[in-house]
Amino acid sequence: MRVLVTGGAGFIGSHVVEALWARGHEAVVYDVRADAGADVRDAGAVARALVGVDAVCHQAAMVGLGDGVADAAEYVSRNDLGTAVLLAAMAEAGVRRLVLAGSMVVYGEGRYECPRHGVVRPGPRAVGDLDAGRFEPPCPVCGARLCPGLVGEDAPADPRNVYAATKLAQEHLAAAWARATGGSAVSLRYHNVYGPRMPRDTPYAGVASFFRSALARGEAPRVFEDGRQRRDFVHVRDVADANVSALEARAPDGLLTIYNTGSGDPHTVGEMARALASAHGGPEPVVTGEYRLGDVRHITADSARLRAELGWKPQVGFEEGMREFARG
């Protein structure tokens, strides 16, 4: 299979390229960093890249939270307009297989259950609560403490920043393309991806990269809130393998199929910081009590559907992956 990988020179995309070659496929890299002018918003360039291609693995995107709405136009242009241009070119070229880099950010907060009211959806956390160190979102009905759980693909979307809104829009565009063309589309909703080639010290790199960079400077990682925020840290090689599995399996025609893509082994941010510090040889993390307004408290995936339907299973355990990442 000949696969066009948009963003193929990037963090996740480069691992997808390697995974494709390792499984006997041909990968064609399309990336602004690898080829001058290779922007997914360039319809002519995209059309030329699609010649002879059997499938597309769409990793190219502007990532991060977005700075309020000031940079909304840039996010929408790169992520949504870019995706629309790509899908239109695929329709014209007769390419009918797509795997999209989705994101767990479309869910907003994770799944919570109240002892009295069952599954509830708390709103954004209040500044007063965060200032007072009350980081756990309360039940929106009675104010009781909630129990966090795993989010399934059928949970309602609740994007809470510009980036999240563009990732959800990408899925809607892919669904419309699949219905119109009879193509098969898959969105892999990545959780917290980490591993080799992860960018250092950029606003979009993720907390794991900031912690690693602090350790490399001999500084203690600074952990926000109380460090008990739950996340699902999934290794980039496992994410790349999920992409190839999705391409090989081929989803039903005319539909968008969504899969959570996480390790299935949630950890707190504090645990992750301690694992990195231990692998690096210190210094120990410092829990600051600081917070970022708009951050969610807990978001962890139920990836059972991906395992059951595609036979995918993560291979890199948390401790092993963090040891490797700390050395990178």
**Looking at the annotation, which residues are catalytic?**
163
> Tokens 């966090």, residue?
148
Cα distance between residue 96 and residue 112, in whole Å? 38
Cα distance between residue 258 and residue 275, in whole Å? 31
Contact 39, 45 (CB under 8 A): yes
> Tokens 């290779």, residue?
38
Contact 106, 62 (CB under 8 A): no
Tokens linked to 79: 């992520």
> Quick one: 133 exposed, middle or buried, by C-beta within 10 A (0-12, 13-18, 19+)?
exposed
| Nearby residues of 187 by Cβ (< 8 Å), 6 or more positions away | 99, 100, 102, 170, 171, 174, 256, 257, 258, 259
